[in-house]
Structure 1
């Protein structure tokens, strides 16, 4: 299997979009509900936690930089433990891709296609994800590299044209309105999103200049937190915390405030299409990793024969995750963060065991040399 296909620049730009997509599109109202004017602070706290996790993940990956975690993990933990963990990762990543797809389905159906069933949107989206997964990671990261500049232009344009609508007298609330409980609860719910950097463990062999990976993740986290924080600030200055937290998709409502002369009355279709592509990238990377995990477990040389069948499973998971948006939101708030913490802390177990084994090995070699 070919490796070293993804440059550090592509990795950085991808992770900026990766974090930005769901936090801005799906989680903004929930974050503002929990943390109010502390939401921006929560974003930066979560970003720092994500970088700390990335450090340990990269430290584990660099010990066997050209090997796949599915393979070398059995050298760290016994196979009877490692294989079930890999199956757990496979199911979890497939479920994550299904949940993000379900959020996107609900958004499209509620906003633009009210008479369209979720399964129709899911099938069309799933087909595109399957085709892209067959092309591999290299093309996926190239798409992110090109899309990034459109996102930058969209953010700049949004900041310019929405500025006249903002209630600037609310700025003082960012200084005076703070809540320790809001910061804690908001951080608890948001840290796992930045903790999804754990996927590095599965794509590490594809990276070039592996020694620069942590630096790339740090810059990606900084810029994504900057862009997310900017949008959260605009929401709070435009709608205030109470209205923002009760809007299902506050970002689209903010975009609809943009007016350019008389010939462009609404830019939401253009900006939403850019954002939808970011969601597509995130779903596809989780889906592709899950497919490759299964291919490695079965010792297949090519993962492509699995893509369409597993895409059908992903769509089925998205449809059956919840009966409606309210149930899905309740599930994500009550249980999803705890599940992601468990998933994302598994690499710590491997790192700890591997460190102990290496230390014991060095001690044995040292004792032999002494004798």
Structure 2
């Protein structure tokens, strides 16, 4: 697709950022955050959101220096090709791995909750096929899907929170004021900041954005609303189950949804709300996967990325099935290794920004010297 035809509005970017953060953090990461931070989960969440905005500032600052060029291409102007290309390969492998990790979490969720006799590969194959087809549509259509899905997702979530309100133990609210731990805030923030730092993906889609000068404002707005929506769900979980029980539930949001009852003819709404939430997970996987495909396309200097989608989707599904023996191993990987690796990954663009800044300052100094000599 020609670059000119693919434009993502800032409004679409804001709604996408909210869904991007909300999808996995509420569905898969809530119990881990509450386990680490207990009643300090909201403080850790706010710190992580602020850190994510700071990281996004550096990513956007780098992207704005060459707003209509792709990071994969102009990076070799900043660092030598023998350094830049391995870094891009690391990004390609990492984004493919992230999409496979989230897909694996979704596979485990579906198999454990609804399809206990179905093998993971079958769920992964069906989901991977849809991801490949959607990736071929490009970023513009993907962001349009996210825009349409946003309102449905938020309405479903707000409705769920309202309906569950009468079940909450409101006496636990005081603990959010009185129970604090510096260690809990630190470890919770350390593990959650990389999820907000995933705004790094903006570097790879920046040429598709319209009104690029408003991007940082959009990230700030999207992050604030993300923290708000995730925070309310975290508070509701703690008020409903308490921090100890919530941290030992594999999918606490599912258990919360199952508390909802509307009259006798609707016993629960979990199938409806889970189907909406699953679509948000699909959006996040597809964005990471499409970015990985386009990075490889630029590295191979191909004109069209679409022929690569189905073959790389097969690799993603194979990775998701073979990367762990069970959901406990995936959780252990997130707890022990993922955050540290993400900091390394998100530090690479900052390295590019620093080197580019040094180079630009040297050029400006040399040009000033030439003018004075003249």
TM-score by length of 2: 0.98
1:366 maps to 368
Unaligned runs of 5+ in 2: none
CA–CA distance in 2 between the matches of 1:368 and 1:93?
45
Q: Deviations over 1:23-54 (max 9, x none)?
A: 00001111100000111111111000000000
CA–CA distance in 2 between the matches of 1:45 and 1:61?
24
CA–CA distance in 1 between the matches of 2:174 and 2:216?
36
1:217 maps to 219
CA–CA distance in 2 between the matches of 1:133 and 1:327?
29
CA–CA distance in 1 between the matches of 2:335 and 2:224?
25
The match for 1:296 among 283, 295, 298 is 298
The match for 2:13 among 11, 14, 18 is 11
CA–CA distance in 2 between the matches of 1:156 and 1:285?
25
Deviation at 1:321, TM superposition (A): 1.1
Deviation at 1:261, TM superposition (A): 1.2
**Structure 2 residue matching 1:65: 3-state secondary structure:** coil
**Structure 2 residue matching 1:247: 3-state secondary structure:** coil
CA–CA distance in 2 between the matches of 1:129 and 1:121?
12
CA–CA distance in 2 between the matches of 1:156 and 1:299?
46
1:104 maps to 106
The match for 1:164 among 156, 160, 166 is 166
Q: Deviations over 1:220-241 (max 9, x none)?
A: 0000100000000000000000
The match for 1:194 among 193, 196, 201 is 196
Instruction: Within 5 Å, give how 1:258-337 maps onto structure 2.
Output: 258-337=260-339
**Structure 2 residue matching 1:261: 3-state secondary structure:** coil
CA–CA distance in 2 between the matches of 1:153 and 1:291?
33
The match for 2:259 among 246, 257, 262 is 257
1:139 maps to 141
2:127 maps to 125
CA–CA distance in 2 between the matches of 1:159 and 1:104?
23
The match for 1:343 among 322, 342, 345 is 345
Deviation at 1:2, TM superposition (A): 1.1
CA–CA distance in 2 between the matches of 1:290 and 1:160?
39
CA–CA distance in 2 between the matches of 1:27 and 1:21?
9
**Structure 1 residue matching 2:82: 3-state secondary structure:** helix
Q: Which portions of structure 1, spanning 4 or more consecutive aligned residues, are displaced by more than 6 angstroms?
A: none
Deviation at 1:192, TM superposition (A): 0.3
Deviation at 1:264, TM superposition (A): 1.1
Deviation at 1:263, TM superposition (A): 1.3
Aligned-residue CA RMSD (Å) = 0.6
Deviates more, 1:199-208 or 1:37-46: 37-46
Deviation at 1:151, TM superposition (A): 1.4
The match for 1:177 among 174, 179, 195 is 179
**Structure 2 residue matching 1:135: 3-state secondary structure:** coil
TM-score by length of 1: 0.99
